[in-house]
Amino acid sequence: MLLQCNRQGSGSTEGPRARKRLLHPLPPRAVGSFVAAIAILLTASVRADDAAARSLLTKAVLSTNVNEQVELIGRLAETESNLVPTVINAWREGSVFVHEAPDGQKIPFLRNDGKARRIDDGTLIEASETNPVETTSKVRRAMKSALDVLTISGADPQDRRAAISKLGMTQNAAYLPIFEARLAAEKDPSVLATLHEAIAITRLAGTDSAAKIAAIEYLAKNRVIRSHDNLKKLTGDPDAAVAASATKAVSSMEGYLRVVEVWGTLFRGLSLGSILLVAALGLAITFGLMGVINMAHGEIIVVGAYTTYLVQNIFGAGAFLPFFGLNLNIPGFHFGGAFYESYFLFAIPISFLVAALVGIALERGIIRFLYSRPLESLLATWGVSLVMQQLFRLIFGANNVQVYSPSWLSGNFTISDVLLGWNRLFVIGFAIAIVLLVWLLLTRTPLGLLIRAVMQNRDMASCMGVRTERVNMLTFGLGSGLAGLAGAFLSQLGNVGPGLGQSYIVDCFMTVVVGGVGNLVGTIYSALGIGVVDQALQPFLGPVMGKITVLAAIILFLQWKPGGLFPTRSRSLEG
């Protein structure tokens, strides 16, 4: 009985392991599947033009004349065989060899993961180790363009466009027939447009003046920015008509470029301003409304960022946190795919809550004793920020941690040549949403009413029976929670490290002071304004000088308007 039980027990523990072994007879390696793919390509492909490709490749590998090799490789594209990219890539990587048979015949073969296959018929071959067939840079260039030409007729429209525009930029007239042949077969409208552009750009380098002028006009009309340099070269063309038309095209193109540049700067500036806004909005509440100088605001932002990191890890492989000898091991859910990608949606409210709790703890523990002494609250919270920074270092390490952007946040798209990143667009939308929510909270809820009352006149509100202590706590929690949201956000845009908060704290204070302390609307204007000015200055001055200039400009601005953009009016002398 006991024995049986035991056996059953051991059997059940053995079971999964054995099944696992069955599932993975070999360690799963990407290389293995790659070899399998090659094997299928080399043997099972039944397309008729494969034979032609094989013979061309064999000739090219065995040829000793570089020019002949280039010519043979150029003809490979016509075969449209799937074999070509595989063999050519192997050749470029040094996996193509030549076997010398006993009868003196030279057989080129391709070796991958210990198996050797003949290039001329795809069968396996017993071959000894030799030096790989070398390539010169000229041959490698020919290989690249052969691959590009092949891609033009490939299945993926994205790849087709990339290959077409690349070949077009070479302005090599030899590709014109290929483009024109493709023009008839192509169905995808965006690829068709790219084809027309490539043909026009290639024709610019031709000799026919009428064709050149037509091409110039086409490029100018369709505002093909890529052709700007090519057009510029043509302004010195010996044919006066061509030169005149090119000059006109260049000037119209440059005007268009300026417009694109302005919109691009505006967009980048708005997104930078939105980041500043999200980061400074919390401070506008704690500093502007409550009058508390919270130097640990930056660290509360970092709390939000690290919370996002933890949520990501809990959705993934789990996290391991060393903490004063206590090792905290958080198991992960190992979600994959779309659910893992959606971790960020969960991270947003969680970062808000965690940061708000940290803020409330800070308010209850320290700040509430210092409401009447603002300079000292500054110093005490700076002490807190030091402690928190060091704690981050001890828990998460001094290095930056990696937070992966979900795929729906990375990537970008263009609207008439202005590059718009999804993450930047998301930042702007998010900032708008947060501002709206805060505005609703402050003006349309009972809590908002209490907050405004307490911030306007604490004593009077207290006399009216408002529990000011509690309102202070909640207000500070709200401000800190907003900082946490900013942190969740910054984690998507850059690295998360213990010093992240320090790089934002001065900017945040500047934003609030410029906007006018105690005025949330002012903070919005000043954040967006600072963002746009910063982005507009960066191309001329570089990022660091741009930032210094903005700081100096702010100091001078405060000379002119000491109360900021929207000073709070008050009859109080000290106000």
Instruction: Give the residue, chosen from 75, 547, 567, 568, that forms a contact with another protein under the rule CB under 8 A.
Output: 547
Of 183, 262, 317, 506, the one binding another protein by CB under 8 A: 506
Compare residues 172 and 390 and give the one whose CB is closer to another protein.
Answer: 390
Cα separation of 97 and 132, whole Å?
5
When asked if residue 327 is in the footprint of another protein (CB under 8 A), the reply is no
The reply to whether 555 sits near another protein by the rule CB under 8 A is: yes
Does 127 bind another protein (CB under 8 A)? Our answer is: no
What's the min distance (Å) between Cβ of 470 and another protein? Answer: 11
Nearer to another protein by C-beta: 218 or 476? 476
Name the amino acid, one letter, at 508: C
Give the whole-angstrom CA distance, residue 508 versus residue 285: 12
**φ/ψ of residue 409, rounded to 5:** -105, -20
Rule CB under 8 A: choose which of 346, 371, 422, 439 binds another protein: 371
Q: Minimum CB separation from another protein for residue 339, in Å?
A: 38
> Rule CB under 8 A: which of 379-418 touch another protein?
379-380, 382-391, 393-394
Per-residue interface string for the shown chain with another protein, residues 510-529, x marking contact by CB under 8 A: x--x----------------
559 lines the binding site for another protein (CB under 8 A): yes
Binding-site residue total for another protein (CB under 8 A)?
51
Asked if 548 touches another protein (CB under 8 A), the answer is yes
CB burial readout 298-332, b (16+ within 10 A) else e: bbbbbbbbbbbbbbbbbbbeebeeeeeeeeeeeee
Closest CB to another protein among residues 225, 379: 379
**260 or 558: whose CB is closer to another protein?**
558
Pick from 52, 558, 567, 568: which binds another protein (CB under 8 A)?
Answer: 558
Q: Which is nearer to another protein, 441 or 551 (CB)?
A: 551
Residues with Cβ within 8 Å of residue 18, at least 6 apart in sequence: none
Segment contacting another protein by CB under 8 A, of 106-114, 335-343, 363-371, 407-415: 363-371
How wide is the angle at C-alpha 345 spanned by C-alphas 344 and 346, nearest 5°?
A: 90
Site for another protein in 428-457 (CB under 8 A): none
Please spell the DSSP secondary structure of 469-508, one letter per residue.
HHHHHHHHHHHHHHHHHHHHHHHHHS-B-TTTTHHHHHHH
Q: Does 301 bind another protein (CB under 8 A)?
A: no
Question: Binding another protein by CB under 8 A: which of 469, 494, 570, 575?
Answer: 469
Rg (CA), the chain: 33
Question: Is residue 538 at the binding interface for another protein, with CB under 8 A as the rule?
Answer: no
Q: Among residues 430 and 504, whose Cβ is nearest to another protein?
A: 504
Q: What gap in Å lies between CA 169 and CA 177, rounded to an integer?
A: 15
**Residue 263 touching another protein (CB under 8 A):** no
Q: Which stretch binds another protein (CB under 8 A): 90-98, 174-182, 192-200, 546-554?
A: 546-554
Calpha distance 300→307 (Å, rounded): 11
Cβ neighbour number for residue 9 with a 10 Å cutoff: 10
DSSP 573: S
Q: Does residue 574 bind another protein (CB under 8 A)?
A: yes
DSSP codes of every residue in 185-199: H---HHHHHHHHHHH
Of 186, 285, 281, whose CA–CA distance to 485 is shortest?
281
Q: Locate tokens 């702010």: which residue?
A: 554
C-beta separation of 490 from 271 below 8 A:
no
Looking at beta carbons only, is 122 or 516 nearer to another protein?
516
CB of 366 vs another protein, minimal distance in Å: 6
Q: How far is the CB of 504 from another protein (least distance, A)?
A: 12
φ, ψ for residue 413, nearest 5 deg: -145, 165
Spatial contact of 276 and 513, defined as CB atoms under 8 Å apart: no
545 binds another protein (CB under 8 A): yes
Angle at 108 (CA atoms; ends 113, 132), nearest 5 degrees: 60
CB closer to another protein, 317 vs 545: 545
Which of the stretches 78-86, 126-134, 161-169, 543-551 binds another protein when contact is defined by CB under 8 A?
543-551
Candidates 95-103, 185-193, 199-207, 556-564 — which segment interacts with another protein by CB under 8 A?
556-564
Joined together, the tokens standing for residue 54 give: 């094989």
Judge contact between 362 and 292, C-beta under 8 A.
no
- Does 90 bind another protein (CB under 8 A)? Our answer is no
CA distance 76 to 95: 19
48 backbone dihedrals φ, ψ, rounded to 5°: -65, -35
DSSP state of 568: P
**Minimum distance between the CB of residue 394 and another protein, rounded to whole angstroms?**
6
Q: What angle do CA 542, 544, 546 make, to 5 degrees?
A: 65
Among positions 374, 397, 429, 575, the unique one binding another protein when judged by CB under 8 A: 374
Enumerate residues 139-198 that contact another protein by CB under 8 A: none
Q: Is residue 509 a contact residue for another protein (CB under 8 A)? A: yes
| Among residues 458, 521, 541, 567, the one that binds another protein under rule CB under 8 A | 458
CA-CA distance, 385 to 500, in Å (whole number)? 12
Question: Residue numbers of the site for another protein (CB under 8 A)?
Answer: 293, 366, 368-372, 374-376, 378-380, 382-391, 393-394, 458-459, 462, 468-469, 472, 502, 506, 509-510, 513, 544-545, 547-548, 551-552, 554-556, 558-560, 562, 573-574
